[in-house]
Amino acid sequence: MTATENEPIDFDRLHAEINEEVRKRRQAGDFPPGIERELDEIFAQFAPKKVSLDDLSDLMAKAEEASFLDSEAPTSSFRKGGAIIKKGIARGVGWYVRYLAQNTTVFASTVSRIMRLLDAKIEVINETVFREPARVAGAAASATRAPSDLSAWHHLVVDALQGVSGRVLHVESGDGSVVGALIAAGVDAYGVEPSEALAVGSASTALDVRIDDALTHLRSLPNEGLAGLVLAGCVDRLAAVHQLELVELAATKTTRDGIVVLIGANPAAASPDDRVATDLAPGRPLHPETWEYLLRRNGLHVRATEWEPTPAALEPLDGKVQGAAAFNQHLDRLNHLLSPPPTYAVVAGLDLLGQ
């Protein structure tokens, strides 16, 4: 791409060309497994740190810097005689200004110290109530979790995301089968997986699968940076507060025409093999109606909800038999109770009419 001296650079087009070249190189296997994650870590290490107005530690540090009030005002002046006048005023009211500055500095320093103590106590609470249980659950999941079999949903995921313009992310990608199915369909897809063994196994097959957890990775992405998002696995184990955050991130990190596919475990049929990780998990599977509500609450329009097909426990009556339609309708509900589908999928997109 070239631009004349008077023609402005089309950064959107340039970005698209770079992404396309990266996608081709990735599919060709030119990138060693894990190289993209290593580059992300190096960038995060050396990139200039910005002070966040939402970060309590950063705000307290700025407050501490501003807590000291200097009572010695500058007396220089560009006007003739101005410096003499200022020095005279400083001598006359200096004692009063110093008194106010000292008392204000003591007050500001005390408040800052109180905030530091509160922050330390909150940190202890977070460590005790949230982080340590999450680390134990995460370690158990990494050590014991078997890759979920999502082969039943390959067709639905590909149909929902085929033709999107941009990158598609799958969290948790497990053995990478969904990422592989999307790439085979021409979708620029990658995955993140918290289990190092599963992530390395996927990367060894030239799939772009990175070792990371869902929330950490999604938080690091720019808003509207994804054309599509597939959520699985973590949706059944996250604590309620993080399940809410996951939906909020799904709505903000996908483009205005992006697609979100959520694959969840049926609470009525939950019998996972990884019992240790399930028992230690801070959350539990939700019903599809709950995810539908949360998606709509965050501006996403639910396009479809489907259950994983399962063999019927009871065969339906022949349609020619009188009353067969009503009987079979009740039989379907009974089959759903006797042989509950293990998983379901919810497909959603941004509700443009509601924006």
pLDDT tens profile 202-227: 766 778 888 888 999 999 999 999 99
Average pLDDT over residues 273-300: 82
pLDDT in tens, 287-346: 999 999 999 999 999 999 999 887 666 777 777 778 778 887 877 777 767 777 889 999
Give residue 26's region: left, alpha or beta (phi > 0; psi -120 to 50): alpha
pTM recorded for the entire structure = 0.62
Averaged confidence pLDDT in the chain = 79
At 270 the pLDDT is 60
Q: Which residues does 51 contact at the CB level (< 8 Å), separation at least 6?
A: 58, 61, 62
At 353 the pLDDT is 44
Average pLDDT over residues 88-109: 80
When mean pLDDT is compared across 75-84, 129-138, 143-152, the lowest value belongs to 129-138
258 vs 280: which has the higher pLDDT: 258
Radius of gyration of the chain (CA): 29
At 275 the pLDDT is 62
When mean pLDDT is compared across 165-169, 191-195, 205-209, 274-278, the lowest value belongs to 274-278
Average pLDDT over residues 24-53: 62
At 156 the pLDDT is 96
Q: How far apart are CA 75 and CA 329, in angstroms?
A: 90
Average pLDDT over residues 246-267: 94
At 136 the pLDDT is 59
Helix ranges, 188-320 (H)? 196-203, 214-220, 240-253, 275-280, 288-297
Confidence category of residue 195, pLDDT binned at 50, 70, 90: confident
